[in-house]
């Protein structure tokens, strides 16, 4: 192996105290998963849920402790296994990024666990819910802590598996099963790129340790040697893996469908953590991105943000709006990564985790209330099919569910980017980064900046639309179906187990937690060391002002439009269809990719059957030949023998017929024979 793969010295490092603590945090959900998965049915439901929740809480506290006491970078590396003289290592990296991410992940999962205790109470298949969540959390921590691309890939796949299990949690519903399969397949397709990246990097460097590779890579010089230099291609491949996991265009279509899973799952996976794992990976391997690869990242991110936001305008499913919003914000994060403003990307990731989770939990509270109403209806003997997610059937919950209303409003303000909220800080950081980049780059980059600002306005528009449809106006379901009138009073505030996590997350969406200065993130406190502040951002004051203006205009438009409109009238139906079908991406994929594969398979099977026919023909020919040989054998060869025998017999019987039984006759013939013999002897003698 020494000639093919370069041998780079990979030093082994033992784990120190903090790293061991991080490992403990990682193993806690693994143990929880094992216990609950195998013995879960025997444990009563409440103990199950509280066990998982308490474990999550402990993990959160421990990770806070780790974050506080972390100074610098702690790297540990061990030997995983050896093949001959080749060593494969595992490593653990504790840096600002990973400890911050760990805090975020454990906090959101803790909140989601508390929420789930109430939300998933007495739902089907309860014994598998917490084990799957524990599997997910452990894999997510694996991605966060690992410094080895191969280990990251393993946990990447495990996260995909957990996502599949959780999306299709109520698998008896066809839509859930189909959505789970779709999510898994799209992720798998993108993970192929991850494998290719690992192969390229291993081939070039002989190791998959990120820290080691970082020391030996200079992307600028690699780009100078060749446009398609191997490190550049590796960067492209890793980015493509995140196109699947972090839902970029065109592989984002699984995320809206993934809303078929339970709402807490949507909050945890598809808002806060899993989809952010892609961004996190890119942040760690940002040294591989440069030149044309970065440009591609920015362009795709921009397209994603814009198109998803457009789709959200005409969606009536409450959770789907939030899903499109997630895709759009992920586009923002990717744009920041492509531009090089990794700090801004990470900041937005953190704030987005909190306010998006809060939004999902609030919508989940609304849905939970609707279900509550349905169950009362069922108890009274009437039951009608109700799509509890359809926003057109909601309305006026501002008065009946005030706490939910307040937390939703706070998170909504953060998402839109109103000042004094966390989202404002992070979004403006991204916009500033984009502006700086556009100043350096050429003309086409201004298009990107323009569309980014436009997306800000569209975001405000659709979020306001949802806000109004759910919480303002009258309860429209009552207007349609009068029988629901008596059940309306059952739509009330949920239990504290649901409300408290919502409120906590809403609290974290306020500016205070991220920066003392409500207008600028430069003085962040608990995230201070996450910023690798190589560049000092100039604070462009006009950027937030422009953003606020656009936001306000969009807000006002939405307000006036939806206050008075009848929500069931659908103008511009074709646009709705276009958005509803995800811009026909899936149809495109089916035609371009799937159909040719089927055609190829059919061609192969046709060829195969033709070869079969030829072989059969050959066999028939041989059988025919054998028959001919048999006939020849029986008639000609045997016939010859029989003929000779018959001839002898004929001659013998002819001569024998002369003998009539007289003895003298025999004597006569003997004499003739003897005479002939003598004649013969006479000739020779």
Partner 1 sequence: MIPVDYYIIVSILLFSIGSAIVFTRRNILYVLMGIELIFNAANINLVAFGQFEPYLNGQLFSMLVITVAAAESVVALAIVIVLFKKLNTIDLSEIKNLKEK
Partner 2 sequence: MTLIQIVFFFFSIQLLGSALVILFTRNVVYAAIALMSTLLGVAALFVIAGSDLLAVVQLVVYVGGVLILLLFGVLYTYRDPETYYEKKNILLSIATVIGISIALLFLLRDLAFDFPLLHASPFDQKGITKATGYYWITDKVVVFEVVAVFLLIVLVGAGWIASKVLEQNKRAQ
List residues binding partner 1 (CB under 8 A): 656, 659-664, 666-668, 671
Least distance to partner 2, CB of residue 655, Å: 20
Of the pair 14, 663, the CB lying nearest partner 1 is at 663
User: Cβ–Cβ contacts within 10 Å for residue 445, how many?
Assistant: 20
662 binds partner 2 (CB under 8 A): no
C-alpha to C-alpha distances, 455 to 400, 459, 651, nearest whole angstrom? 32, 6, 116
Of the pair 624, 679, the CB lying nearest partner 2 is at 679
Contact at 8 Å (CB) between 193 and 237?
yes
Partner in contact with 661, chosen from partner 1, partner 2, none, beta carbon below 5 to 8 Å by kind: partner 1
Interface segment toward partner 2; rule CB under 8 A; list 303-311, 386-394, 622-630, 676-684 = 676-684
DSSP result, 160-209 = HHHHHHHHTTTTTSHHHHHHHHHHHHHHHHHHHHHHHHHHHHHHHHS--B
683 binds partner 2 (CB under 8 A): no
Whether cis (ω within 30° of 0) applies to the bond prior to 679 is no
Q: Which residues contact 92 (CB under 8 A, 6 or more apart)?
A: 15, 19, 22, 23, 74, 75, 76, 77, 145, 146, 147
CA–CA distance, 589 with 593 (Å, rounded to integer): 6
Partner in contact with 682, chosen from partner 2, partner 1, none, beta carbon below 5 to 8 Å by kind: partner 2
Least distance to partner 2, CB of residue 647, Å: 30
Give SS3 for 316: coil
Of the pair 402, 652, the CB lying nearest partner 1 is at 652
Partner in contact with 227, chosen from partner 2, partner 1, none, beta carbon below 5 to 8 Å by kind: none
Least distance to partner 1, CB of residue 642, Å: 22
Of the pair 474, 662, the CB lying nearest partner 1 is at 662
Phi, psi of 209 (to 5 degrees): -80, 125
Q: Which of 675, 676, 677, 680 binds partner 2 (CB under 8 A)?
A: 675
Site for partner 2 in 58-97 (CB under 8 A): none
Of the pair 553, 678, the CB lying nearest partner 2 is at 678
Least distance to partner 2, CB of residue 626, Å: 55
Of the pair 629, 678, the CB lying nearest partner 2 is at 678
Partner in contact with 675, chosen from partner 1, partner 2, none, beta carbon below 5 to 8 Å by kind: partner 2
Partner in contact with 11, chosen from partner 2, partner 1, none, beta carbon below 5 to 8 Å by kind: none
What is the gyration radius of the CA atoms in the chain, in angstroms? 39
678 binds partner 2 (CB under 8 A): yes
Partner in contact with 662, chosen from partner 1, partner 2, none, beta carbon below 5 to 8 Å by kind: partner 1
Q: Which of 541, 654, 682, 684 binds partner 2 (CB under 8 A)?
A: 682
Partner in contact with 2, chosen from partner 2, partner 1, none, beta carbon below 5 to 8 Å by kind: none
Interface segment toward partner 2; rule CB under 8 A; list 289-297, 511-519, 594-602, 677-685 = 677-685
User: Using H for helix, E for strand and C for coil, what is the string for 601-629?
Assistant: HHHHHHHHHHHHHHHHHHHHHHHHHHHHH
CA–CA distance, 241 with 150 (Å, rounded to integer): 14
Contact at 8 Å (CB) between 413 and 507?
no
Q: x-or-dash pattern for partner 2, window 622-661, by CB under 8 A? A: ----------------------------------------
Least distance to partner 1, CB of residue 656, Å: 7
Partner in contact with 624, chosen from partner 1, partner 2, none, beta carbon below 5 to 8 Å by kind: none
Least distance to partner 2, CB of residue 682, Å: 6
Partner in contact with 44, chosen from partner 1, partner 2, none, beta carbon below 5 to 8 Å by kind: none
Of the pair 615, 675, the CB lying nearest partner 2 is at 675
User: Using H for helix, E for strand and C for coil, what is the string for 88-140?
Assistant: EEEEEEECHHHHHHHHHHHHHHHHHHHHHHHHCCCCCCHHHHHHHHHHHHHHH
31 binds partner 2 (CB under 8 A): no
Q: Is residue 125 left, alpha or beta, with left meaning phi > 0 and alpha meaning psi from -120 to 50?
A: left
Partner in contact with 574, chosen from partner 2, partner 1, none, beta carbon below 5 to 8 Å by kind: none
Q: Which two tokens stand for residue 167?
A: 């999306």
Least distance to partner 1, CB of residue 671, Å: 7
CA–CA distance, 440 with 451 (Å, rounded to integer): 18
Write 156-159 long-range contacts (CB < 8 A, 24+).
Answer: 156/191, 156/194, 156/241, 156/245, 156/277, 156/281, 157/191, 159/245, 159/274, 159/277
Residue 321, judged by CB atoms within 10 A of its CB (0-12, 13-18, 19+), counts as buried
Of the pair 610, 671, the CB lying nearest partner 2 is at 671
Partner in contact with 1, chosen from partner 1, partner 2, none, beta carbon below 5 to 8 Å by kind: none
Least distance to partner 2, CB of residue 650, Å: 29
User: Cβ–Cβ contacts within 10 Å for residue 199, how many?
Assistant: 13
Partner in contact with 664, chosen from partner 1, partner 2, none, beta carbon below 5 to 8 Å by kind: partner 1
Question: Angle 146-169-588 (CA atoms, 0-180°, nearest 5)?
Answer: 80
Q: For residue 525, what is the DSSP state?
A: S
Q: How far is CA 607 from the centre of its chain?
A: 36
Of the pair 571, 653, the CB lying nearest partner 1 is at 653
Of the pair 39, 671, the CB lying nearest partner 1 is at 671
Of the pair 621, 667, the CB lying nearest partner 2 is at 667
What are the residues binding partner 2 (CB under 8 A)?
675, 678-679, 682
């Amino acid at each position: 192996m020494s000639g093919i793969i370069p041998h780079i010295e990979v030093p082994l490092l033992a784990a120190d105290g903090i790293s061991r603590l991080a490992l403990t945090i990682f193993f806690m959900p693994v143990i929880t998963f094992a216990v609950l998965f195998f013995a879960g049915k025997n444990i009563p439901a409440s103990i199950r849920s509280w066990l998982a929740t308490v474990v999550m809480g402990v993990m959160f506290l421990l990770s806070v402790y780790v974050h506080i006491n972390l100074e610098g970078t702690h790297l540990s590396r061990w030997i995983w296994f050896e093949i001959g003289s080749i060593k494969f290592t595992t490593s653990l990296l504790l840096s600002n990024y990973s400890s911050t991410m760990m805090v975020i992940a454990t906090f959101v999962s803790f909140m989601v666990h508390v929420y789930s205790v109430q939300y998933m109470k007495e739902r089907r298949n309860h014994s598998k819910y917490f084990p799957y969540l524990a599997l997910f959390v452990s894999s997510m921590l694996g991605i966060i802590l690992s410094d080895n691309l191969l280990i990251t890939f393993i946990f990447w796949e495990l996260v995909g598996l957990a996502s599949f299990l959780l999306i299709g949690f109520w698998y008896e519903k066809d839509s859930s099963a189909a959505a789970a399969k779709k999510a898994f397949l799209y992720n798998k397709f993108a993970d192929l790129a991850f494998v290719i990246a690992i192969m390229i990097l291993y081939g070039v460097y002989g190791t998959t340790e990120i820290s080691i590779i970082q020391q030996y890579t200079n992307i600028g010089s690699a780009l100078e040697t060749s446009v398609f230099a191997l490190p550049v291609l590796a960067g492209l491949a890793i980015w493509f893996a995140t196109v699947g996991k972090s839902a970029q265009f065109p592989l984002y279509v699984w995320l809206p469908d993934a809303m078929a899973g339970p709402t807490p799952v949507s909050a945890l996976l598809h808002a806060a953590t899993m989809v952010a794992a892609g961004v996190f990976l890119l942040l760690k391997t940002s040294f591989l991105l440069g030149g044309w690869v970065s440009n591609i990242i920015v362009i795709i991110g921009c397209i994603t943000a814009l198109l998803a936001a457009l789709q959200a305008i005409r969606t009536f499913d409450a959770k789907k709006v939030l899903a499109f919003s997630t895709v759009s914000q992920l586009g923002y994060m990717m744009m920041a990564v492509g531009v090089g403003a990794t700090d801004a990307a990470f900041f937005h990731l953190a704030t987005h985790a909190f306010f998006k989770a809060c939004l999902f939990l609030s919508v989940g509270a609304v849905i939970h209330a609707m279900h509550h109403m349905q169950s009362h209806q069922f108890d009274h003997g009437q039951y009608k099919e109700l799509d509890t997610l359809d926003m057109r059937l909601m309305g006026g919950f501002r008065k009946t569910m005030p706490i939910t209303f307040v937390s939703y409003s706070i998170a909504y303000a953060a998402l839109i980017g109103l000042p004094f909220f966390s989202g404002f800080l992070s979004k403006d950081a991204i916009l500033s980064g984009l502006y700086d980049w556009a100043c350096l780059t050429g003309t086409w980059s201004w298009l990107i900046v323009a569309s980014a600002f436009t997306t800000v306005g569209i975001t405000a528009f659709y979020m306001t639309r949802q806000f109004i449809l759910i919480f303002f106006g009258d309860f429209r379901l009552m207007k349609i179906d009068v029988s629901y009138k008596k059940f309306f009073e059952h739509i009330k505030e949920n239990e504290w187990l649901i409300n408290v996590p919502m409120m906590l997350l809403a609290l974290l969406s306020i500016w205070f937690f991220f920066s003392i200065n409500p207008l600028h993130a430069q003085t962040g406190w608990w995230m201070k060391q996450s910023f690798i502040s190589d560049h000092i951002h100039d604070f462009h004051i006009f950027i937030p002002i422009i953003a606020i203006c656009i936001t306000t205009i969009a807000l006002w438009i939405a307000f006036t439009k939806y206050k008075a409109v009848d929500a069931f009238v659908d103008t511009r139906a074709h646009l709705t269809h276009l958005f509803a079908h995800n811009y026909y991406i899936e149809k495109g994929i089916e035609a371009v990719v799937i159909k040719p594969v089927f055609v190829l398979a059919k061609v192969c099977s046709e060829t195969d059957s033709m070869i079969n026919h030829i072989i059969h023909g050959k066999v028939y020919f041989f059988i025919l030949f054998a028959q001919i040989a048999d006939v020849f054998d029986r008639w000609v060869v045997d016939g010859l023998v029989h003929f000779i025998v018959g001839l002898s017999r004929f001659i013998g019987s002819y001569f024998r017929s002369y003998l009539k039984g007289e003895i003298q006759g025999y004597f006569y013939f003997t004499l003739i024979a003897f005479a002939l013999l003598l004649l013969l002897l006479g000739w020779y003698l």
